[in-house]
Amino acid sequence: MTTTSSEHGSEHPDWTRTGFSTRAIHAGQDPDATTGAVVPPIHQVSTYKQDGVGGLRGGYEYSRSANPTRTALEEALAAAEAGGLDVPASGFAFASGLAAEDTLLRAVLRPGDHVIVPDDAYGGTYRLIARVFGPWGVAHTPVDLTDLVAVRAAVRRGDSGATRVLWVETPTNPLLGVSDLAALADVARDAGALLVVDNTFATPYLQQPLALGADVVVHSTTKYIGGHSDVVGGALVVADAARLPGGLESPAGGTDVTGAVRFHQNASGAVAGPFDAWLTLRGLKTLAVRMDRHQANAAAVAEFLVGHPAAGEVIYPGLASHPGHEVAARQMRGFGGMVSFRAGSEAKALDVCARTQVFTLAESLGGVESLIEHPGRMTHGSVAGTSLEVPDDLVRLSVGIEDVQDLVADLEQALA
């Protein structure tokens, strides 16, 4: 194992060349140089003493620009997504997933540009692109990203109005569609556009989009990475080789996406606070073991639902019946912890949501506890009346890490 030197002169392994769990526990998280504490401290501070004007210690001057706890998280996230790959990348931590998305889109788009989005995108992402960036002058087209012919047909070319971003969720929220990332990377590259992948559902443990040609990976770290429903956050991991589309130049100078995102992160300021960064780091350490349990439980829940007469279509990438099963098996380490199913009517879906006892009726996902929700009335209400509207009988499950027999029994009584 190769070693690298820290800023304090000590040597440690090159964590990017280790296994996923080793990276998640150690990358960016050397023991404290002063005390030897094995967990990075929470630097709850706004400003830093300078040794003379411009004499910064470790590059820190003000915590909007950089904070040691946030730096640790950003290094850990970059190692989680890009570790083991020949794809150098940089991580950026934000106050929420949507703050991360907003910062990225401001960094890489200008009025008149065009974005391709999934036709079953997360409602918050669609609201941001359609209702915030739309009035700003950015056009968008929802497309079934599993249909490469349709994606190519949606690409706009030219000096103005061209497609600059191909935005992908895989699996999607809440219909769990699976897109071929390597094929979409070819489409984006041919169009001169960036391939941006929301990897929240899969997590870097199950899928590494940068290895498949993505330029930027997006996370709501609120979900699986945080993992305990106690912190809100977001992240971007940007391939250092990614360049701004359409010949755009960053306000900071240069054409690299990393530099543009770094400028906008500081200029806009929607950064992760030190305590939130610390909580997210704590969650990242156990991501692998939690995801193994999440997806084992989800597979069992999906199999139970397939055999239940009160459940209609069951949607889970791990089922051979799922249209994206083969693609998911090829590009993912596992199939994740999310399951959706059709209840037959909105009334029945709402009834099931009201009757569960172990599954908690709540928005969000990815925590250790199991959650149930009605996307049409809850997380995806913002797409009602659009082409992205979800079926009104859809129920979404975030399968937690409780004992699986209790989860199955709870669903059985709720469906009875």
- The DSSP output letter for 237 is E
Cis peptide before 171 (omega within 30 of 0): yes
Please state, in angstroms and rounded to a whole number, the distance separating the CA atoms of residues 172 and 189. 22
Query: Which of 122, 205, 224, 316 is an active site residue?
Result: 122
Note if 86 is an active site residue: no
Whether residue 223 lies in the annotated active site: yes
CB 349 within 8 A of CB 414: no
Please pick, among 23, 70, 223, 333, the residue that the annotation labels catalytic.
Answer: 223
Total residue length of the chain: 416
Catalytic residue chosen out of the listed positions 30, 32, 64, 106:
64
Distance (Å, rounded) from C-alpha 233 to C-alpha 225?
Answer: 9
Catalytic site includes residue 32: no
> Which residue among the candidates 102, 119, 180, 198 is catalytic per the annotation?
198
Which phi-psi region, left, alpha or beta, contains residue 248 (left: φ > 0; alpha: ψ -120 to 50)? Answer: beta
Output phi, psi for 289, to 5 deg.
-70, -35
Q: In angstroms, rounded to a whole number, what is the distance separating the alpha carbons of residues 27 and 297?
A: 29
Strand partners, 117: 142
User: Rg of the Cα trace of the chain?
Assistant: 21
Characterize the bridge pairing of strands 234-239 and 314-315: unpaired
In Å, how far are 125, 299, 309, 377 from 389, measured between CA atoms?
14, 26, 26, 11
Give the separation between CA 114 and CA 103, rounded to whole angstroms: 17
* Secondary structure element (H or E) that encloses residue 186, with its range: helix 181-191
Q: Please say whether the beta carbons of 74 and 92 come within 8 A.
A: yes
What tokens does 90 get? 């940089």
CB 371, CB 265: distance < 8 Å? no
Which residue is listed with tokens 């009035």?
135
Query: Does 224 qualify as catalytic in the annotation?
Result: no
Which residues are identified as catalytic? 64, 122, 198, 223
